[in-house]
């Protein structure tokens, strides 16, 4: 039927529709913004509550009705945390693990992706199918056997267990980068090959610069995973000197007889655990959102 509409008829109709929507528009817009604001508040309120509680005295945290903001901000909880637990060590460990695993992922996922996307060799398709199949494996299946494996390696409660398994790269990262490398025109490699460039040079100087943004996506996803992971360090680690922030927080918040007597202290620890990643998120927001939306990578 659309072919029958003449220009004039079409324009009068659409202007009528436009008028009708414009009449209700201001009211509707207010409602839309109010609803969206409500959703944003719900998303952020726990963080607000965490941060404000961390600045209250233990007594004020327990008052009813609750105070919205601390009457007198108590910054000492933040220094107290460092005295109560080796929080600085946890922080340093987490940064170190994130860095090592990210570097490893970038290096070895990109080399493997390069081979899968740009090179031909016998067994490539079979191997790639194997990689695809492993993407389906839930982490809960590998956790228990990995513990046994790490025990055999003698890596339990060491930095090795937190770095080596992640550093060799993942099927997931390889798959992600391969998909992007496939979109690069093949003429580029062929031209370089004719001019005598080595495979490594093609990988390093032609392909890698062209997948810069997927590499950033892989970086933020990896940092996020290492920073937030709980089950793996919980199972593998035991000593303060190798613990991550997330595990340290759990031990600190549940440990001892003082559980929940000093809520502001626990909230200060929680704030310091999540703050760095939230900061990174705001800097590299685009990559986080793109990466997670693209891959469905919740991780949890």
90 burial level (CB within 10 Å; 0-12, 13-18, 19+): buried
Cα dihedral value 94, 138, 183, 290, nearest 10: -50
Residues 139-158 that bind another protein (CB under 8 A): 139-149, 151
Q: Which of 26, 27, 65, 209 binds another protein (CB under 8 A)?
A: 65
Residues 6+ apart with CB under 8 A from 67: 56, 60
Give helix 171-181 / helix 87-118 axis angle, nearest 10°: 50
Quick one: which H or E segment has residue 30?
A: helix 7-54
Q: Which of 15, 22, 30, 35 binds another protein (CB under 8 A)?
A: 35
Select from 70-78, 80-88, 206-214, 279-287 the region that touches another protein (CB under 8 A): 279-287
Q: What is the phi/psi pair of residue 216, to 5°?
A: -65, -40
CB of 288 to another protein, least distance (A): 6
Query: Closest Cα to residue 96, out of 159, 9, 12?
Result: 159
Q: Which of 93, 102, 170, 219 binds another protein (CB under 8 A)?
A: 170
Residues 173-232 that bind another protein (CB under 8 A): 174, 199-200, 203, 224, 227-228, 230-231
Residues 81-140 that bind another protein (CB under 8 A): 107-109, 111-112, 114-116, 119-122, 124, 127, 130-131, 134, 136-140
Residues 15-34 that bind another protein (CB under 8 A): 17, 32-33
Residues 226-265 that bind another protein (CB under 8 A): 227-228, 230-231, 234-235, 246-247, 249-250, 253-254, 260, 263
CB of 275 to another protein, least distance (A): 10
Q: What does the alpha-carbon distance between residue 276 and residue 271 come to, in Å, rounded to a whole number? A: 9
Q: Is 39 in the site for another protein (CB under 8 A)?
A: yes
Select from 39-47, 72-80, 82-90, 209-217 the region that touches another protein (CB under 8 A): 39-47
- For residues 244 and 97, the answer to whether their CB atoms sit within 8 Å is yes
Q: Which is nearer to another protein, 31 or 88 (CB)?
A: 31
CB of 224 to another protein, least distance (A): 6
133 burial level (CB within 10 Å; 0-12, 13-18, 19+): exposed
């Amino acid at each position: 039927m659309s072919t029958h509409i003449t220009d004039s008829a079409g324009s009068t109709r659409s202007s009528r529709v436009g008028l009708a929507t414009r009449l209700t528009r201001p009211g509707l817009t207010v409602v839309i913004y109010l609803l969206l604001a409500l959703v944003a508040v719900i998303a952020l309120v726990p963080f607000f509550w965490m941060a404000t509680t961390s600045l209250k005295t233990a007594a004020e945290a327990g008052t009813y009705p609750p105070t919205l903001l601390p009457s007198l901000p108590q910054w000492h909880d933040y220094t107290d945390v460092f005295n109560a637990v080796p929080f600085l060590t946890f922080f340093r460990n987490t940064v170190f693990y994130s860095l090592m695993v990210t570097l490893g992922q970038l290096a070895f996922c990109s080399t493997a992706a390069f081979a899968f996307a740009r090179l031909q060799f016998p067994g490539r398709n079979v191997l790639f199918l194997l990689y695809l199949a492993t993407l389906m494996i839930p982490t809960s299946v590998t956790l228990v056997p990995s513990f046994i494996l790490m025990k055999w390696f003698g890596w339990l409660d060491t930095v090795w267990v937190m770095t080596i398994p992640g550093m060799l790269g993942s099927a997931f990262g390889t798959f992600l980068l391969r998909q992007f490398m496939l979109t690069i025109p093949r003429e580029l490699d062929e031209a370089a090959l004719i001019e005598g460039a080595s495979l490594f040079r093609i990988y390093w100087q032609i392909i890698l610069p062209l997948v810069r943004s997927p590499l950033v996506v892989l970086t933020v996803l990896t940092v996020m995973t290492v920073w937030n992971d709980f089950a793996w360090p919980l199972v593998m680690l035991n000593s303060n000197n190798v613990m991550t922030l997330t595990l340290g927080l759990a031990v600190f918040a549940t440990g001892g007889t003082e559980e929940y007597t000093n809520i502001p202290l626990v909230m200060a620890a929680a704030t310091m655990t999540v703050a760095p990643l939230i900061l990174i998120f705001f800097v590299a927001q685009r990559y986080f959102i793109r990466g997670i939306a693209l891959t469905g990578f919740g991780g949890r």
